[in-house]
Amino acid sequence: MFVAACTTIAPNPVSDKDMLEQTAADRAAAQKGVDAIKGPLTLEQAMARALKYNLDRRTKLMEEAIALNQLDVARLDMLPKLVAQSGFSSRDSDRTTLSRNIQTGALVPSNFVSQDRSHTASQLGLTWNMLEMGVGYLNTVQAADRVLIATEKRRKAMHVLMQDVRTVFWRAVSAQKLKGEVKRIIASAEEALVDSRKTEEERLRNPLDALRYQRQILENLRLLEAIEQELSSAQVELATLINVPQGTAIELVDTAFNINSDALKISLDQLEETALVNNADLREQQYNARIARTETRKVLYRLFPNLSFSYSVSYDTDSYLVNQRWNEAGLQVSYNILNLLTASTQTRLADAGVALADQKRVAVQLAVLTQVHLARLQLLNATSQFGRADEIWNVDHKISKIVINREAARAQSKLERISNETAEVLSLLRRYQAAAQMQAAESRMQASLGVEPRIASVDEIATDELAQKLTLHGLVWQSILAEQAKKQGLEKNKEQQPK
């Protein structure tokens, strides 16, 4: 009946009620410990909130914590095995045996009982396997390297997160800046469109001119609606990055755009050297190569004979035993002969793993150097594009002012004003987009170099203090420039020394 019951297990889908309760609990857990937003957010404050409360970053931190726990478990594998066991035995008849006469071959019954029908046996034994201890030591070394790999993955996730926040922040700022202006111009354009259609119906103007007028207004409306749609998603993306409930109105500080030229003053040699030392992907491959080399040592360890020590303390309640309590010690040497036959295959596999890890490291190194050069080129282009977009916006802004004044003096049509205001909004949007691209290029360059703010645990630091540390992190390019100047000074001193 028990076996039959096991075969009746059917799929048990989650009910709608359970799903709603679980999602409500998950939503509450996501917002647990998240500080409320107080006042307008600066870029540094948005990045600080992302580092503290972003759910993906929390996941990476948990993965690192699990790697640390796995390291602690791996350390325990090197300890000897201490086994305590106790068992009760009972039978319904006495344990008696027959004996065979060696001369006649006849079976002779025994009239003696040598064991109680019921008795309890207990034992506490210590076993230490030297081969398992050696393999456990190497497993611990590999677990320690995996902890470092988890740390590098967390660093990489932090770089990507900061890059995303910087890009989305400026998109959200542009949405905040242009939202009211776009709605105003759309309303004005729709009003002009209604007036033009009335004029067309009343035949006060040439129908062809009226239709051309309407088409131009409709084209401006299409551009304005496209701008509105593009800006509408920025607040949603920013709320997700900084872990704010969707629908929350986030007010942002529209700070001035500062073109940071310090990053472009660093030589390519210095950038390459910094990246080769600090890049998270390259350091991760270094640890993977170390794990592969440790695997070859494990293969060698298994080729040695196995030596094990054992010591146990035993107790048995059997009344027929002369010594119911006794100690036992042992030493055992064993060797798996088949290891000699499979050693070459296992060694080739381990060596192939080392070669693969080395090849991956070389490939990642070249990819990192490529990223550094591309990131610098993208930052250079983004800086140039922002300067050009800023100049275009200044020109469009001046044109818009002149057109508004001319319309007030009845020297310009309403269509001209709407067209120029649309062009001004579009150029301002492109200015913000260029600023976002410039910020993203700078973050991408920092990620390629592997430089990030030196902060303690984000759980132990307040959001405002973390924002201040991120503000000071803007001096990272100056520190690299100082290191570059120091090296150039040392090289100059070497050249000036007499040979």
User: How confident is the model over 385-434, as pLDDT tens digits?
Assistant: 888 888 888 898 888 888 777 766 665 566 677 777 778 888 888 888 88
Helix (H) or strand (E) holding 330: strand 325-334
Q: According to the model, what pLDDT value does residue 475 have?
A: 67
Q: What is the pLDDT of residues 452-486, one digit of tens each?
A: 777 766 767 777 777 877 776 666 777 888 888 88
**The tokens of 222 are what?**
């299409």
50 or 476, higher pLDDT: 50
Q: According to the model, what pLDDT value does residue 330 have?
A: 92
Q: What is the pLDDT of residues 177-236, one digit of tens each?
A: 877 777 887 787 787 778 777 776 766 666 777 777 778 778 878 877 887 777 778 888
Fold of the domain built from segment(s) 38-88+119-446? Outer membrane efflux proteins (OEP) (1.20.1600)
**The tokens of 432 are what?**
């913000």
Q: According to the model, what pLDDT value does residue 414 have?
A: 67
Q: According to the model, what pLDDT value does residue 257 have?
A: 63
360 phi, psi to nearest 5 deg: -65, -40
Q: According to the model, what pLDDT value does residue 326 have?
A: 92
DSSP string, 204-244: -S-HHHHHHHHHHHHHHHHHHHHHHHHHHTHHHHHHHHTT-
Q: According to the model, what pLDDT value does residue 136 have?
A: 86
Q: According to the model, what pLDDT value does residue 311 have?
A: 94
What pTM did the predictor assign?
Answer: 0.77
Q: According to the model, what pLDDT value does residue 5 have?
A: 63
Helix (H) or strand (E) holding 44: helix 43-53
36 phi, psi to nearest 5 deg: -70, 150
C-alpha dihedral, 287 to 292 to 294 to 300, nearest 10° = -170
Q: According to the model, what pLDDT value does residue 156 have?
A: 86
Burial class of residue 1, CB neighbours in 10 A (0-12, 13-18, 19+):
exposed
Q: What is the pLDDT of residues 8-19, one digit of tens each?
A: 677 788 888 888
Q: What is the pLDDT of residues 102-153, one digit of tens each?
A: 888 788 777 778 888 898 999 999 998 888 888 888 989 998 999 899 888 8
Q: What is the pLDDT of residues 307-350, one digit of tens each?
A: 899 999 999 998 888 899 999 999 999 888 887 788 888 888 88
By percentage, how much of the chain surpasses pLDDT 70? Answer: 91
230 phi, psi to nearest 5 deg: -65, -35
Q: Where are the domains of the chain?
A: 38-88+119-446
Helix (H) or strand (E) holding 84: strand 81-90
Q: According to the model, what pLDDT value does residue 412 have?
A: 55
494: pLDDT strictly greater than 90: no
- The whole-angstrom separation of Cα 41 and Cα 169 is 10
Give CB contacts under 8 A, 24+ apart, made by 254-257.
254/173, 254/176, 254/177, 255/42, 255/43, 257/386, 257/390, 257/435, 257/438
